[in-house]
Every structure is written in C-alpha cells, then in structure tokens.
Structure 1
Amino acid sequence: MPVRPGLDLHRHDRGHRTTITLAGEFDLTTVPQLHRTVEDCVREGIRTIDIDLTALTFCDVSGLNAFLAARKRTDSAGGSLRLHHPPPPLTRILDLTGTGFLLRSPLSVGALPLPAGAMAGGRPGLRTS
C-alpha cells in the first residue's frame, strides 16, 4: 500500500505575529493541523498570522475552506490572516471563487514581512516594523 504524502506545518512566532509554513498536501485529512495551530495562536494572543505556502504541493477545496475559516477565526479575535506565495493552482481557485481579496497580502501578492534591516529580492530598504 503506497504511503500518502502528508503535510508539514511549522510555526515561527515573533511577538504577537507568527508565520505558519505549510509544506506538502493540504486536504481533508490534513486541514485539522491548521485548525489546531490557528486556534492555539489565537488563544496565546497572536493576532497576525502569515501563512507561507511556498512549499505547498496540493490544496483542494477543503484546504480553501480551512483558510477561510482560519481567517474568520482570526478576524473574530481582532487579528488578521494572510496567505503568501500561493501556488498557481491555488491562486486560480482564489480568483475563480472571488476569495483572493480575503486571503492574499494587500501589500504585494506573495510578500512576507521581513525582520527589520532585512532585504527582499536583493533590494535594500524593503522592511516591516
């Protein structure tokens, strides 16, 4: 019996902000990992959640629903949640469903906040505080 690829989820906190990195497949069997992580973040006082999807290889509609539920949960706690670096198939789903504006970064699609003094794309001066 073949082994089904899973999801690796990593969380990196910086004060009241966190970056959650998803790698692998995000589907009905793996969405509970994100639900638990977002709930833990909100309970611990984290109000800004960035989700890095650079290494995401698959996302179905249950994954999209999980992102929308996570955003709703974060919003209800007075916070925000944004997706960064969505793969092209997910970007297409976001566009087709009209939900991209709810989940993608308003600054620039795919841009993750950088620590003070960091450089983005080799260009100095792109920083967040």
Structure 2
Amino acid sequence: MNLDINVSDKDSTAVVTLAGEIDAYTAPQLKEQLLPLTKESGKVVEVNLENVNYMDSTGLGVFVSALKSTKENNSELKLVQLQSRVMRLFEITGLTDIINIDSTVRGGS
C-alpha cells in the first residue's frame, strides 16, 4: 500500500496531510519529509492522520523521532484527526501521554 504525503504551510504551522498506510515500506518516506519540518525553531508541525487506516510500530517510531527532534529544536508536533484503530496504537504504547494528540477521533474499523 502507498502513503500520500502532502505538506502545506499556514503561517508558522506546517500541515502534513497523510493518506494510506504507515508501515515498514512507507515509514522511511514519511520520516524523510517529516523530520526536516521539526528542525525549524518555533514551527508547529500538525500531522493530519484522518485518512491513515493502518500504522505499525515503524510508523510509531517515525513520530517518536519527530517528537525528539521538536524537543531539540524548540518546535512542536501535533497529531490530529486520528482514526480509532490508529489512536488505539498510541494509547497502548503510552504515547498519548507524551505526544500532543487532538482528542477528536474519527470512526473507522
């Protein structure tokens, strides 16, 4: 499965809209596009996961790396519009306590 990545800038926010699956095959592509955005001081990186219906541990690893980068570069990572099965992955791993995740959860199986 593929992952579509669309990045747009809105003031001091980079909006990253994802669609597809985040797995061992697509995670490197996501990391390559996401990490440079987190290196700009004062930047908010908002990742919209509304159209991501599957993510595995490699996807979680990308977001943990992005979070670490934001802490080092004085930027911010925010995840929004997660489908329930993707949100569950963040809850099980305890990442909801350390990553800013919008509590609005989309349906989906």
More strand by share: 2
Larger radius of gyration: 1
Distance change >3 Å, CA 65–CA 89, structure 1 → 2: same
How far apart are residue 44 of structure 1 and its match?
A: 5.5
- The answer as to whether partners of 1:85 and 1:110 remain within 8 angstroms in 2 is yes
TM-score w.r.t. length of structure 2:
0.84
Aligned residue in 1 for 2:94: 98
Distance change >3 Å, CA 40–CA 46, structure 1 → 2: farther
Separation (CA, whole Å) in 2 of partners of 1:99 and 1:48: 18
TM-score w.r.t. length of structure 1:
0.72
- The answer as to whether partners of 1:47 and 1:77 remain within 8 angstroms in 2 is no
Count of residues in correspondence between the two structures: 105
- Aligned-pair identity in percent equals 26
In the alignment, structure 2 segments of 5+ residues that lack a partner are none
Q: CA-atom RMSD, angstroms?
A: 1.9
In the alignment, structure 1 segments of 5+ residues that lack a partner are 112-129
Aligned residue in 2 for 1:110: 104
More helix by share: 2
